[in-house]
Amino acid sequence: MNSKKTIEVLDNNEGYISLLDHMGSEIDIVNAARVSYDKYVENMHEKDYKLLRYLIRNQHTSPLEMIIFKFEVYCPLFVTRQWFRHRTWSYNEVSRRYTSENIAFYVPQNFRKQDKKNKQVGSGELEGETQKHVHDELQKFTNEAVEFYYQLLDRGVCREQARMVLPQNLMTKFIGRTDLSNLIKFLKLRDDEHSQWEIRVYAQAIKQLISDIVPTVMKECFGE
């Protein structure tokens, strides 16, 4: 079922995530569980919602794998490297071997201090003047990097080598597909206070995108 919806995220809405498509609904979860008895239902009733909640609470998650979601994600390169650690997803990403178009970078409006205990939660934002200085310097560095990138291309260097000078705040795009069971695991890890903010906002957007499709699951898993 095609159901493209988009939510913009990050500072100044520089990134986004779209729900491109999905297959299945909560009734498919119930029917996957009941196939053991060779039984099916066509409409959800209270006993079916009760079964659904039972499956989740007792971690009988294979029926949740019957529902599939496909997303398009536009985010910084360093976010994709965290995202791709979730190997239960399938991915295809824009390759800078093949295109030098649509080069853009993420320059945060707010920089965070390093936590003294090296925890992801962090310890607040940088001071005002330092904040502005870091922002301006990163913008300058990014501009110089992309200028050098195009110089390399103009001198005949191939794209697959020229791309090495592009910093990790380069924006990239990928399509990712996963099932509901593994998506829930992703959301529990990535929408957590210990997760990096730049990926957490994408997890929060995913919750919004799928909440109307699997409302009982979302309420049981996240209280939403």
53 in catalytic set:
no
Angstrom CA distances, 223 to 46, 61, 93, 189, 211, stand at 19, 18, 33, 16, 11
Q: What is the pLDDT of residue 126?
A: 81
pLDDT at 121 over 80: no
DSSP 36-69: GGT---SS--HHHHHHHHHHHHTT--GGGGG-EE
DSSP 8-state assignment for residue 112: B
The CB-based long-range contact list for 29-38 (8 Å cut-off, 24+ gap) reads 29/55, 29/63, 29/64, 29/66, 29/67, 29/180, 29/217, 30/63, 32/62, 32/63, 32/65, 32/66, 33/60, 33/63
Q: What is the pLDDT of residue 190?
A: 97
- Confidence category of residue 113, pLDDT binned at 50, 70, 90: confident
Higher local confidence (pLDDT), 119 or 198 = 198
* 117-137 mean pLDDT: 79
Higher local confidence (pLDDT), 4 or 199 = 199
Q: What is the pLDDT of residue 122?
A: 55
d(CA 205, CA 192): 13
d(CA 211, CA 217): 8
Q: How many CB atoms lie within 10 A of CB 118?
A: 6
Q: What is the pLDDT of residue 39?
A: 87
Distance, CA of 223 to chain centre? 20
Pick the catalytic residue: 96, 163, 190, 200?
190
Domain covering 2-94+173-222 assigned CATH 3.30.1360.170 in the classification: yes
Q: What is the pLDDT of residue 4?
A: 79
Q: How many CB atoms lie within 10 A of CB 83?
A: 20
Lay out the sheet containing 15-23: strands in order across. 2-9, 15-23, 68-76, 171-179, 90-93
The amino acid at 211: S
- Confidence category of residue 119, pLDDT binned at 50, 70, 90: low
- Confidence category of residue 36, pLDDT binned at 50, 70, 90: confident
pLDDT at 86 over 90: yes
